[in-house]
Amino acid sequence: MAFSFPAFSYIIALIVDAFLIFFSIFHVIAFDELKTDYKNPIDQCNSLNPLVLPEYFLHLIINLLFLLSGEWFSLLINVPLMIYHILRYKNRPVMSGPGLYDPTSIMNSDVLTICQREGWIKLAFYLLSFFLYLYGMIVVLIAV
């Protein structure tokens, strides 16, 4: 039983990951609402866009902690998603504010589909990684 920096990283990662799960649930719900006509795309984009960067930022923090604590496996698992985030943000439509979603193109069904699928995949990823972090934390804590 040793409370080391890796253990600290995992604990933080667990907490942050819980937030990320909420983010992606919100994301999935928001796009479902768009698809079923309940929301105006302008409103929906206005509520989604401010959350994009915080999500990326939180994810980055986890990985930074893993890097510093030398948890290479956990880091490795997260690298593809980080790269995806960076590329996605680089290719976002022209917009002055932060965010990814453009109300004029979001209703194109291929964009909508991609976004929705992205939401589900991320949700699954965060859930799985949550248990991974839990396991990692226990392992680190137990290790003497």
Return residues touching other proteins (CB under 8 A).
34-37, 40-42, 93-96, 102-104, 107-110, 112-113, 116
Helix ranges, 4-143 (H): 5-35, 41-69, 72-90, 109-142
Q: State the chain's maximal CA–CA distance in angstroms.
A: 56
Closest distance of CB 103 from other proteins, Å: 6
Q: Which two tokens stand for residue 118?
A: 């992205």
Closest distance of CB 87 from other proteins, Å: 16
How far is it, in rounded angstroms, from Cα 27 to Cα 48?
7
- Complex with other proteins: residue 47 or 104, whichever CB lies closer: 104
Closest distance of CB 99 from other proteins, Å: 11
Closest distance of CB 54 from other proteins, Å: 21
Whether the CB-CB separation of 86 and 34 falls below 8 Å is answered with: no
Sign of CA dihedral 70, 138, 58, 100: positive
- Complex with other proteins: residue 50 or 93, whichever CB lies closer: 93
- Complex with other proteins: residue 7 or 45, whichever CB lies closer: 45
- Complex with other proteins: residue 36 or 144, whichever CB lies closer: 36
3 state SS of 37:
coil
